[in-house]
Structure 1
Amino acid sequence: MSSSSNTLVVRLNPAARRAVVQQYTISGSPVIVGDPSSVLHWRIFVKCAYGDYSCTVKLDLIPGQDGRTGVLMVTTVPYELSSSSAAHVSHHATTPITIDQLLQTLQQRYRDRYMYDDTGSGCRYWCRTVLQDLEVLRLVSAGACQEFDGYVVSWNQQHPARFPLPTRQGTFY
């Protein structure tokens, strides 16, 4: 799957496209590495397998050149989780879906069409929306969003700068 859209960049090796999702992990890494109060940038790591082949695909929505238009970077990475991850929540896949099918689903739901808010924030909201899609489609267990929300609320009490509430929201278009 390639896209002529400038809001979706796919860089996957061919085997990854056919790989079946095993697990979804929403992960937050500090924007300023080493700063314990740095806000987190949130991404989704998708662990998958195809026969003897296994890999992780990173879904990373980053601000484009204008600082607001989201660009969904889809890449195969050699790790299950970023070494800079300061927070993460994982959910096992409950229904088989390939990476190609997952990307088609995201595009059909316009998850590659996102504008960050006026401050350039909204990646956690994007990840949570994708998780909600996965829950509605029964690709993860019921209650996955509630678990993620609870995780954020509990950490907000200890580290409000890293886990700001309310969650900043961009808009899908």
Structure 2
Amino acid sequence: MATVYDRAFKPIDRNQAVAKIVVTASGAAGNVVATPNGSGGFVPNIYHWRLYLVLLPNPLLPTRTRSVLLDIIPANPPTGCLVISSKEMPASTASGKVELELPPAGSPTVQQIVDLFKNKGMDRYMFDATGSGCLWWVIVGVRHLEEAGLVEAGASRALQVFHHEHAQAHPERHPLPVRQGRFYW
């Protein structure tokens, strides 16, 4: 089974420099995890987390891409699939969202980040029994980026603080403890 879906990833975007990495969580239709409501039904209320690699504008390249999305989705639940897609918008257009911008260290390219994610097994992920775990996937991904020196030091801590603040304000969208899927080889 394929663990990466990159049909919407334009080859021209591979060597683009990343201006910033945006951690995004939203509850827009199609990006909400249904969770048990305690009475046998499900309520869609937990935010879905993903990463946008916002591209540094390059007038020499004929592309309309402004970001590349890295998103883990349950393609064959609970097995995830890493979706890599070029986007014409710099970040999520969801109306109900929270975002954290992480400055890169140096000028990493999209391909460097994609290669890191593949080498670290970020494309081999299984969601937990409730179908959750995208935040854990993002947390691990940001740790890998920080360890590789592709984001500024302290990015993992910034994400932890960011999530904690939002979990306090909206516990129904940001449940604690963080639901963890698992990586496999």
1:27–1:42 Cα contact (<8 Å) kept: yes
Contact 1:45 1:56 in 2 (8 A): yes
What residue identity is the alignment partner of 2:53? V
Matches within 5 A, 1:2-13: 6-10=2-6, 11-13=8-10
Identity, in percent, stands at 30
CA distance in 2, matches of 1:168, 1:71: 18
Output the CA distance in 1 between the equivalents of 2:28 and 2:180.
18
Within the candidate set 77, 87, 91, 1:77 is matched to 87
Which residue of 2 is the match for residue 46 of structure 1? 53
TM-score normalised according to structure 2 size: 0.83
The Cα of 1:55 is off from its aligned counterpart by 2.0
The runs of at least 4 aligned residues of structure 1 exceeding 6 Å deviation read none
1:20–1:48 CA contact under 8 A, matched in 2: yes
Structure 2, unmatched stretches of 5+, are 33-43
TM-score, normalised with respect to structure 1? 0.89
**SS of alignment partner, residue 78 of structure 2:** coil
* Alpha-carbon offset, residue 50 of structure 1: 6.2
Alignment size in residue pairs = 166
| Pairing 1:149–2:160 present | yes
Which deviations, in whole Å up to 9, do the C-alpha atoms of 1:12-36 show, x marking residues without a partner? 2222011011110110010558x9x
Pick the aligned partner of 1:128 from 139, 155, 158. 139
Separation in structure 2 between the aligned mates of residue 124 and residue 117 of structure 1, nearest angstrom: 12
Which of 5, 25, 29 matches 1:28? Answer: 25
Quick one: structure 1 residues 170 and 31, their matched pair in 2 at CA, closer, same or farther if it must change by over 3 Å?
A: farther
- The structure with the larger Rg is 2
Q: Distance in 1 between matches of 2:109 and 2:151?
A: 14
Aligned 8 A contact 2:54 2:91 in 1:
no
For residues 110-148 of structure 1, the C-alpha deviation after alignment (integer angstroms, 9 at most, x for no partner) is 011000011110000101110011111111111111111
Give 1:64-103 correspondences, 5 Å limit: 64-65=75-76, 67-84=77-94, 85-103=96-114
